[in-house]
Amino acid sequence: MFLTAEEQDMLAGGQGKATRKAMQILVALGTIYGAERMLPVTSVQVAGVSYDNLGEPGLQFLQEMAEGGGQARVLTTLNPAGMDVDAWETLGISPEFASSQRRVLDAFAHMGVLTTCTCTPYLVGNLPHFGQHLAWAESSAVCFANSVIGARTNREGGPSALASALTGCTPAYGFHLDRSRQPSLCVEVTAGLEACGEWEESLVFGALGKAIGDRLPESAHPPVTFIRGLSRVSLEGLKAFCASLATYAGAALFHMEGITPEAGSLKPPAAVIQIGERELNLALDSMTSAAAEEVDFVSLGCPHLTIREIARLAELLAGKRVKKEFWITTARPTKFLADRMGLSRIIEDSGARFAVDTCCVVAPIQGRFHALATDSAKACYYAGAKNGFKTLVKSFDDVVREALQ
Ligand code: F3S
């Protein structure tokens, strides 16, 4: 693998221990995947932030990198942590966990990583443009960056994303190369998604992602899909779709005719699958395992809510009281805006809680609840797989109604 003089210096330890370790990780990856060289990246999104997932070994690795002089060389943002950094106590997080989580965040901050703690970096200042090379972890954001924006990133893991932050580069393979971005499967959507209401999109597009995933064979290299038959989708619908397709199809990239930027220059593949009402309904049904009366936990914000979704929530909750534990998960800058607009007060007066910096999947809440109501296909998967919760999936508005019953 060709390395520039500076990259060789990093690998030889000329720029500190942490940078050497970071370059070793990237060279190993590049060698495995046959990369010929490194590419400079313009931004990084690091995942693997919750102490619930990292544990002591993960924390130790981060502290070693920080103590070894690691410093981010490009804009680097962070995935959600295991707690609201300010309001962890009111969410029932233990002081022991909070202390460990703070050490994780301190290590990242020491390395110059912005502790944004959100899975929607593109909403809070890490917004790449078309064609830029990135090193992003967080599968939903990777799918959004590649597909909706047309930037280029592989699905990085926590250590490889951090390694790119500390070196400013990534090996040139996979979705950085034109040939990996070609679609090989056409998906014709005949389900008539245009008929769905504005606030049903997160549910319906999440179901579409699962329906596509259910039709694909299990593979370490899922096909890049070329999706036809959709004439409109909101930012919120795309956010939900990317999270779902990444979860159920393992996808890092799709093209959507008339909507995503690369679709217009690509030829639709000959191989076709169709997704109609039946497939969509099957996907929806398969995500529900709880009856309404079993629900004891309600959450919206997987991926993190936009300010438009928070405004809708305030509209639905104004003057009412929720009867179940209800977490609203979003990025802190979005919450600041909600505070300024008077939306947070309306929401909090209803008894619902903001769980900023975190989410219902990465927080340490296993065993605390029995069944989750959500509009998120991704949350359905991980609430079951990670936390053992049953799930009830509904539209955004209906999830709020669930909390009020
Ligand atoms: Fe984000 Fe947590 Fe969902 S990280 S995409 S809110 S599982």
382 lines ligand 1 (CB under 6 A): yes
Candidate of 78, 244, 304, 365 to mutate for ligand 1, largest count of ligand atoms within 8 Å of Cβ: 304
User: Bridge-partner residues for 155, per DSSP?
Assistant: 136
DSSP state of 133: B
3-state secondary structure of 128: coil
pLDDT for residue 192? 87
- Between the alpha carbon of residue 258 and those of residues 64, 88, 263, 267, 299, the distances in Å are 47, 43, 7, 13, 32
For ligand 1, atom 5: residue with the closest CA: 303
Distant-in-sequence, close-in-space partners of 192: CB < 8 Å, separation ≥ 6: 277
User: Which one, of 50, 386, 80, lies nearest residue 247 by Cα?
Assistant: 386
pTM over 0.95: yes
The encoded tokens of residue 73 equal 């060389």
**How much of the chain exceeds pLDDT 70, in percent?**
100
pLDDT for residue 17? 98
pLDDT for residue 174? 98
What's the pLDDT tens digit per position in 168-227? 999 999 999 999 999 999 999 999 898 899 999 999 999 999 999 999 988 878 999 999
The encoded tokens of residue 206 equal 């999440």
Pairing of strands 371-374, 297-305: parallel
CB distance 297 to 389 below 8 Å: yes
User: Which one, of 329, 347, 366, 335, lies nearest residue 81 by Cα?
Assistant: 329
Give the angle 117-121-125 at the CA atoms, nearest 5°.
Answer: 110
pLDDT for residue 329? 98
Q: Where are the alpha helices (DSSP H) in 254-372?
A: 277-286, 307-317, 332-340, 343-349
239 lines ligand 1 (CB under 6 A): no
353 lines ligand 1 (CB under 6 A): no
Q: Where are the alpha helices (DSSP H) in 33-168?
A: 51-67, 95-110, 139-143, 158-167
Which residue ranges in the chain fall short of pLDDT 50? none
Candidate of 116, 302, 330, 387 to mutate for ligand 1, largest count of ligand atoms within 8 Å of Cβ: 302
Distant-in-sequence, close-in-space partners of 293: CB < 8 Å, separation ≥ 6: none
143 lines ligand 1 (CB under 6 A): no
pLDDT for residue 310? 98
Residue with structure tokens 């390694």? Answer: 163
The encoded tokens of residue 24 equal 């070793």
Ligand 1 mean position, distance from CA 119 (Å): 6
Residues 367 and 302: their CA atoms lie apart, in Å, by: 20
For ligand 1, atom 1: residue with the closest CA: 303
148 lines ligand 1 (CB under 6 A): no
Residues 75 and 125: their CA atoms lie apart, in Å, by: 9
pLDDT for residue 22? 98
